[in-house]
Structures are given as structure tokens and as C-alpha cells.
Structure 1
């Protein structure tokens, strides 16, 4: 039987084997909407300058992301699922930088199978893990930084874990925890200018997409592409 382990963002470098890096608000919700909207692929990076370097190499690349929640100068898109799902992105390569999610992917350098996840791809992620049938799965709860509790990501991991175990589960109790998490409260209270109500709503749409978000290394950089998964009936 698969065992599940939970790590904070600071502990991500200690993970190995099958590693699922979770960022519900908003990085990997935004990434899923981008891939659904025609992006192929997404290249996650850690720093703004790294993203700009890729842009200098190929002006056709688009830059998406945030620093402390806000879109950096010269970036094409912020870290907003609402913004990205309305853009014409067919066939585009997207360079993605975020303060938590992409950092977790970079830190999980010892992973044999690396995945990004959020609620919109939770069922497909669980199905893929079931196919792998690993002895262990490591969840990286990226929201645990700067004093934040990260429960919006922890509850997503626990939801995926329950699905992998094959248990019938109602998603509502898990989704309710997003609103009581540190960052969830910020969204509901509109504490910053970058916070959009629609982003929050899109992030709570469970199992929106029938694909998961595997990440691999290619030519020294991380590459995220969607992988279609057929998954069981979920509530």
C-alpha cells in the first residue's frame, strides 16, 4: 500500500521518488488553465531574470508569473487563472515564475517522477499515481512559507491521497479549508490589489481537467506538459 508523506516548501529538497508539488492559489491552477488553453509547453523557473533570459533567446516565448503576488515588469501575464484562460495561447511556450509553486518544482531535484497539482487536476493526478502504484508519494505543500499555514495546499494533497486510496469522498470539506487557510483568507478579504475573486473561484473547481501535470528535465530546464488521464467518477 502506498504511503504518503507531507513536506513544507523549505523541505522540498528532501523529497525523492514520486513527488507532487501543490500550489492551489494560484500557480498550478493557472498552469492547468494555460495548458488547457493551448500552451505547449510550460517551462517553470525560479527567478525573474531566468525568465527574461529565455525571452531574450526566443522572443516568441511568453512570460507568466508573479513576485509577491504582482506581475513583474516585462511579463506578459500575471499568475492569474482568470487572465490566462481568456488569452489566445495555442502553440505558445510559456515561461512561468512564481513565489511558491515553481520554487517547489526546482527544489524537488531528487524526484524520479515529478508532478505539479491543484484541485482542478486532482482526480487526474490521483489516477496517474494509481497507475504508478509507488511505495511512497511525497506531497510538497508550497503554501507553507512566510508564516502561512499552507492549508489550501495541504487539503488538496489529502484529497488526492483519499482518491488514490480508492475511497468515495466529498470534495466540499476539503474545499472549505481553502477559505480558512492563511492565503485563502487574504483572497476572501481582498487584502491586496492583485487578488481577484474570479481567481479564487476558478481555483475551487475540482477535477475541471482530465489531465495531470508531469514535469521533466529537458536540456537543463524544467518542462511541464499535460498528460491525459481517464479517472473514475468523482464528486
Structure 2
């Protein structure tokens, strides 16, 4: 399997297989939302679009990154997510890194969104799909986020060796600029940041599902992909569960 590690692409051409990585914190939040029973996540390109979708669909929730914004239900914190009942709910998510990266490669034949908590399950999907090449999209810091690159490289190594040790990759993520900013936000008491976010973002292989995105009625929709779901073929798209 050939691997390419890149930032969010600026061209409209999508790769055959893409893994979009956002560790701190979009796709850690997404994974925890599915773990707590959310049905699906719809990606929005702007905050205005996210709030419009929420307004048109009573019962939907809206998540965004940065400081809390009126109208949104969560500011991208996995720890704060525990205070919300998301069972059976649809979530609209808009972030400057993770969801932007996914939307940039929305037409990939197989599109997976990943963080450390679903890294092993993501690697297993790739192992079963046996693609010739995989593009890993490193979304943070303009494609230079060490925590996202470390997670991407861990997933690639897990495809080659199921017993790959996550510890060195987690150590790199723990020393990253993204981790430092998150820790600084905790020290400063920033709204939308929880002291437990870091630990929740740096837990490897916590969940048995990957996360696959596909277009549904013109929207890019993310769902959990479990081991017992129909798997993607060598060149075919993922078939999300639920």
C-alpha cells in the first residue's frame, strides 16, 4: 500500500481512498458521539450553514470548534459531550480543520475520518479494502500538525502490522503544538475546553468502529462502520452502518 501524507488539498480532484485525520478535536468528538449513540454526523462548510440545517430539522444538534457560539450545542469538546444526550440524534458539525478536510475530498471512493480512538478500526478497514494507495489528509496547522501526522502514520503502520505499538505516536502527539495550545486553553480557563479533553484525544484504539463518510442527498454524512457491517470492496466505497 502506497501512502501519501498531505495537507487539505486545494484542488477539486479527490483520491480513490482518503483518510482525513483530526485528533484535537473534531474526529475525537465525532467518535465519542457515535460511542454515545448518535446516528449520523452531517458536515457543514460554514457556521451559518450548520445553524440553518439545525433550524430546518428540529431535534438536530450543532457542534463547532473554537469558543462557544450562540445556537450551537457543543464547542468541540469530547469531555463536554458527556453532558449531552445524543442517542439517535443527527449532529451537524463544522470545524476549521477536520470537517474542512473531509469536504475537500468528499468525492473520494472511500473516505474515512479518523483520530487515535478509532485508529485500529480504521486500519482494519484499509487492510480489508487492500487499496493500492491511500492519501492521508493531515488537517491541523495547514497540514503540519504533528498530532494528526502521528495518528496517520500509526494507522498506516497498523495496516502493515496489526501489533504496531501506539506509544511512540501518542508521545509525539502529546508533545505537539496542538497539545500545547489545548493545555494552554485549560490553564487560561477558555470556554469550550475541558481539562479531560487531552486524555480523551490521546487514547489509542478505544472504539471498535471506523468512521466512513459519503454523500447523501448532496450532503457529506459520517456514520460508524462496525466490524459486522458490509465491508468496502478493493475499489468500492464504504458502506456505513446504521
List gaps (5 residues or longer) in structure 1. 231-235
The residue number in structure 1 matching 2:131 is 134
What residue number does 1:29 align with? 28
Q: Give the whole-Å Cα distance in 2 for the aligned partners of 1:198 and 1:11.
A: 34
Residues 105-138 of structure 1 deviation map (CA, whole Å, 9 limit, x = unaligned): 1111331111100000000000000010000000
In structure 2, do the counterparts of structure 1 residues 35 and 12 end up closer, same or farther at CA, with 3 Å as the change threshold?
A: farther
SS at match of 1:197: coil
CA distance in 2, matches of 1:117, 1:167: 17
Secondary structure at the aligned position of 2:196 is classed as helix
2:95 is matched with which residue: 93, 98, 103?
98
Distance 2:58 2:173 in 1: 37
Matched, 1:172 2:170: no
Separation (CA, whole Å) in 2 of partners of 1:72 and 1:17? 36
Instruction: State TM-score, norm by structure 2.
Output: 0.88
> Given that residues 18 and 138 in structure 1 are in contact (C-alpha distance below 8 angstroms), is that contact kept between their aligned partners in structure 2?
yes
Q: Number of aligned residue pairs: give it.
A: 225
Could you list the runs of 4 or more consecutive aligned residues of structure 1 that deviate by over 6 angstroms after TM superposition? none
TM-score of the aligned structures, taking structure 1 as reference length: 0.90
Q: Per the alignment, in what secondary structure is the counterpart of residue 225 of structure 1?
A: strand
Question: Counterpart of 1:81 in 2: which secondary structure?
Answer: coil
Stretches of structure 2 that go unaligned for 5 or more consecutive residues are 229-242
Distance 1:182 1:13, change over 3 A: farther
Superposition deviation, residue 171 in structure 1 = 1.1
Structural mapping, 1:29-68, within 5 Å: 29-66=28-65
Describe the SS at the equivalent of 1:19.
strand
Matching residue of 1:233:
none
1:217 aligns with 2:215: yes
- 1:199 maps to 197
